Amino acid sequence: MPPLPSSARGAAITGWGRALPDTVVTNADLEARMDTSDEWIRERTGIAERRIGGSTASLSIESGRRALACAGVDPASIDALILSTTTPDRTVPATSATVQHGLGLRCGAFDVNAACSGFVYGLAVANGLIAIGAERVLLIGTDTLSRIVDWTDRNTAILFADGSGAAVVEAVGGRGSLLGWDIDADGSAEDLLFCEVGGHLHMDGKEVFRRAVRIMVDSAEKSLAASGTSVDDIAMVVPHQANIRIISAACERLGIPMSKTALALAETGNTSSASIPLAWFAAADDGRLVPGDLVLLVGFGAGMTAASAVVRWTGAGRP
């Protein structure tokens, strides 16, 4: 994407929240159900356990409520709700409608489905709405992949799980915190990872792996170029939490040390739309980010989509 126009009305994240279901499924639990092992899963993916349960709406309401409280804003002041999800509770209406009502919002609400790149797609859309006049957007990324996983398929069941992360994106004076962004898709690769309506996830893991590294690096480089920054300026990378080997291969190619990554993968597995906000906001809650830090978000997913953004961290609560 080209550099942001200097006249664009800027936005910043002023509150965030996370939600995970209570039920923990460890690798040992999976070992008891299918031909796999804790050692294999840890070594090949970096995942030790994952959370499952709840609905996309219930997890979204939980993380959204926390983000609103963190920002200290009245739900009635939100101008739009964007829910990034690949696993809506119903085909119609959009799950965002249920979440809008559950949170007591009085605004437009719509779902975005760009698979695991969805939260970063949503961030670009939220900034776009603010550029054309919205004051406050609630952006939520939620998936309940446990509902579309075949729990007898060791190829997918070891990877995917449930969770939610949310951010309040508010208009600010000046350029705002989104410095550069990129969204991409290659529909010709749709057969590599798909789920028919009412069906289960099917995946060509090897080919997804191979392409994932390439498209993450490509997208990240586009966002860095658009923002006029380099990898040396980046304080933290928040990659899509799919597989630790994909993350480390992409970081190596980008020239970014693993010590700069935000990781939640070992405890969450791959939560798709929730993956980036869960890792990002856990790092923020742990005090790993200070105001002014540059954060590189980079995701990839079915589609095959990719998305990235360079964001200046603005710190806790309202500015």
Binder of ligand COA out of 242, 244, 254, 256 (CB under 6 A): 242
- Closest approach, Cβ 173 to ligand COA, in A, equals 37
Task: Say whether residue 270 binds ligand COA (CB under 6 A).
Answer: yes
**Residue holding tokens 């299918």?**
34
Task: Say whether residue 85 binds ligand COA (CB under 6 A).
Answer: no
**Closer residue to ligand COA in complex, CB, 135/204:** 204
Q: Rounded CA gap, 134 and 109, in Å?
A: 13
- Angle at Cα 199 formed by Cα 197 and Cα 202, nearest 5°? 110
Task: Say whether residue 45 binds ligand COA (CB under 6 A).
Answer: yes
Task: Say whether residue 194 binds ligand COA (CB under 6 A).
Answer: no
Task: Say whether residue 152 binds ligand COA (CB under 6 A).
Answer: no
Binder of ligand COA out of 84, 243, 261, 273 (CB under 6 A): 243
Task: Say whether residue 91 binds ligand COA (CB under 6 A).
Answer: no
- Closest approach, Cβ 292 to ligand COA, in A, equals 31
What residues are labeled active site? Answer: 116, 240, 270
Binder of ligand COA out of 64, 88, 176, 301 (CB under 6 A): 301
Task: Say whether residue 151 binds ligand COA (CB under 6 A).
Answer: no
| C-alpha closest to that of 155 among 293, 45, 266, 26 | 45
Task: Say whether residue 201 binds ligand COA (CB under 6 A).
Answer: no
**Closer residue to ligand COA in complex, CB, 116/131:** 116
Where do contacts with ligand COA occur on this chain (CB under 6 A)?
Answer: 36, 40, 44-45, 116, 154-155, 158-159, 193, 203, 205-206, 208-209, 212, 242-243, 246, 270, 301
